[in-house]
């Protein structure tokens, strides 16, 4: 019998699913965890696991005691890769950690395939985080808000919030993930989630100053380009083309 546990896609939801897999004493080799509602098995037993913060906290604290804060941070980075096979890999890593409760370096044991795979996801998510912090473009709106639209390969928005809060502590700004449909709004009274950019009342027209700045930046970018030294391949390597959509210098001139 294969047991398919559906969770809501959140980190707490995944931790709850792991808790339930152990609490119900399912054979862990037969457990499949997924957030895809269409991922079912005709001969398996499918169940929807409701997220329980208390159960998630118990699993998280157990892991934190063993692998420490840096270890749990690696688990979060790997989780944000959001690959289809990630939940099952997470379950196997938890199983491996609990089976060797005396080891704090379990996430450094690259002799295990799952640990090596998780390390690759952590590295990829970390690279995407740094690229978002480097390539994001804030645009001033008519209401004085600075808005940045992003479409990262991985769900790295939660990892970038601290960077932007430290860099722009006194400004009102918002970063919105266009692909995943959510964002973060920084106001003087704290951070606020955004679930819909159009309905939030945040999105507006560019300010006159922003339009002038974008024209100036585009002229500067093109005037400093030496055509004879253009290297498109190197350019795409250092600034991948998937980031160009929201870069001021890559947009048509006003």
Q: Mean pLDDT for each 10-residue chunk of the chain (254 residues)?
A: 94 97 95 92 89 97 94 96 96 94 88 96 96 92 90 94 92 93 90 81 80 91 87 86 88 74
Strands (E), the chain: 3-6, 31-34, 45-48, 139-140, 146-150, 173-177, 182-187, 190-194
Supply the pLDDT for residue 249. Answer: 85
Supply the pLDDT for residue 130. Answer: 94
Cα-Cα-Cα-Cα torsion 59, 63, 64, 70, nearest 10 degrees, comes to -130
CB 142 within 8 A of CB 206: yes
Neighbours of 58 (CB within 10 A): 14
Q: Report the predicted TM-score, pTM, of the whole model to 2 decimal places.
A: 0.86
Supply the pLDDT for residue 101. Answer: 81
Supply the pLDDT for residue 160. Answer: 95
Nearest to 153 by CA among 125, 181, 133, 117: 125
> Which residue in this structure is represented by tokens 């009342």?
201
Cα-Cα-Cα-Cα torsion 75, 243, 158, 8, nearest 10 degrees, comes to -70
């Amino acid at each position: 019998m294969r047991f398919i546990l559906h969770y809501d896609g959140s980190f707490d939801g995944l931790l709850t699913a792991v808790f339930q897999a152990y609490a119900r004493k399912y054979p862990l080799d037969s457990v499949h965890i997924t957030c895809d509602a269409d991922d079912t098995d005709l001969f398996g037993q499918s169940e929807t696991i409701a997220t329980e913060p208390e159960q998630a906290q118990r699993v998280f604290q157990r892991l934190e005691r063993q692998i420490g804060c840096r270890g749990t941070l690696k688990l979060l980075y790997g989780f944000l890769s959001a690959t289809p096979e990630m939940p099952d890999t997470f379950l196997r890593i938890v199983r491996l950690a609990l089976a060797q409760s005396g080891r704090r370096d379990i996430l450094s044991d690259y002799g295990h395939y799952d640990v090596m795979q998780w390390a690759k996801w952590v590295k990829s998510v970390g690279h995407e985080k740094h690229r978002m912090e480097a390539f994001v473009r804030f645009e001033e709106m008519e209401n004085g808000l600075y808005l940045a639209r992003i479409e990262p390969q991985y769900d790295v928005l939660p990892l970038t919030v601290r960077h932007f809060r430290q860099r722009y502590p006194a400004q009102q700004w918002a970063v919105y993930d266009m692909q995943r449909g959510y964002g973060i709004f920084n106001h003087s009274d704290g951070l606020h989630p955004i679930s819909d950019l159009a309905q939030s009342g945040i999105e507006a027209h560019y300010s006159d100053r922003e339009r002038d700045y974008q024209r100036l930046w585009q002229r500067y970018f093109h005037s400093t380009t030496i055509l004879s030294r253009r290297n498109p391949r190197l350019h795409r390597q250092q600034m991948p083309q998937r980031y160009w959509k929201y870069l001021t210098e890559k947009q048509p001139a006003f």
